[in-house]
Chain A
């Protein structure tokens, strides 16, 4: 299979999976764990790159190639380190709790949980330009605040659902063990997110 054909196959598979995550997350995660291909990650990475390019432009606010590139690299490294730590700690926890998780399955399953994360960050960046903070306490300000909170919480539930399905299908654990893995990983991810917050890279954890 040549590069173009492979890109089309993985692209179609990625599109079907994202649609599945929206409409049938449970079945879709079963398919990701059973038949997912690492090649689909290219499209997740492409989404991240697009977002970090946009976020760099919004944060730097001036056409200064050096500053833009530096900001882009900082954001990308922050995200890559967070994703590596998330996947690594899930895999280690999976083994500690008696499972035999495959690293590539955990990686692919976790990578798809980044779709709600990127969606929230991208929308927030665009809204930052269109309706820059601070929000006011006028009727319109409160209405926007309510809508933004509904939007944020909706994507958070989606993220939590996909993260749970990663544990369920990526590690093949029942609810009790999944909670155990989550409790094992939470302090690690919290600590890393706090470090990134103190470094001024991500104020909201990019997990």
Chain B
């Protein structure tokens, strides 16, 4: 039992240490906080930021966003 748990731990440890850790000097903790939210169920953040962006575009360009969407809709 102990061997199995230990083997699982070793396997997990090897997986985690497979890539170099990310460091940004004094900004490392901020980076970790931000990316933690993107690692598991990132959709609320994706949708939230996208909504802000879309409304920002509307505030900046007004009804001209309809032209942008027309271009995108023809872009496939």
CA distance A26 to B23 in the complex (A): 17
Chain B residues with Cβ below 8 Å from A125 are 76
* Selected contact of B73 from candidates A30, A127, A156, CB within 8 Å: A127
Which one of A23, A134, A158 contacts B41 once the chains associate, using CB atoms below 8 Å? A23
Give A145-179 as 1s and 0s: 1 = Cβ < 8 Å from B's Cβ atoms. Answer: 11011111110111001000000110011110000
B49 partner residues in chain A, CB cutoff 8 A: 153, 157
How many A-B pairs with Cβ below 8 Å? 119
Chain B 37-76 interface mask (CB, 8 Å, partner A; 1/0): 0111111011101110111011000010111111111111
Assembly CA distance A154 to B50 (angstroms): 6
| Main secondary structure on B side of the interface with A | helix
CB distance from B20 to the nearest CB of A (A): 5
A124 in contact with B68 given A25-B42, A142-B63, A161-B42 (CB within 8 Å): no
- With a cutoff of 8 Å between Cβ atoms, the chain B residues found around residue A132 in the complex are 73
The answer, yes or no, to whether A102 is at the interface (CB within 8 Å) is no
Residues of B with C-beta under 8 A to A158: 42, 46
Q: Is the interface of A mostly helix, strand, loop or mixed?
A: helix
CB-CB under 8 A for A146 and B54, given A23-B40, A172-B19? yes
Question: B19, B53, B66: which contacts A153 (Cβ < 8 A)?
Answer: B53
Contact of A5 with B by CB under 8 A = no
Q: What residues of chain B lie closer than 8 Å to A141, measured between beta carbons? A: 66
A34 touches B73 (CB 8 A): no
A→B interface (CB under 8 Å): 22-27, 30, 34, 55, 58, 121, 124-125, 127-128, 132-137, 141-142, 144-146, 148-154, 156-158, 161, 168-169, 172-175, 202-204
Chain B residues close to A by CB (< 8 Å): 15, 18-24, 38-43, 45-47, 49-51, 53-55, 57-58, 63, 65-76
Q: List 7 A-B contacts (CB under 8 A).
A: A133-B70, A146-B54, A146-B55, A149-B53, A149-B68, A150-B54, A203-B75
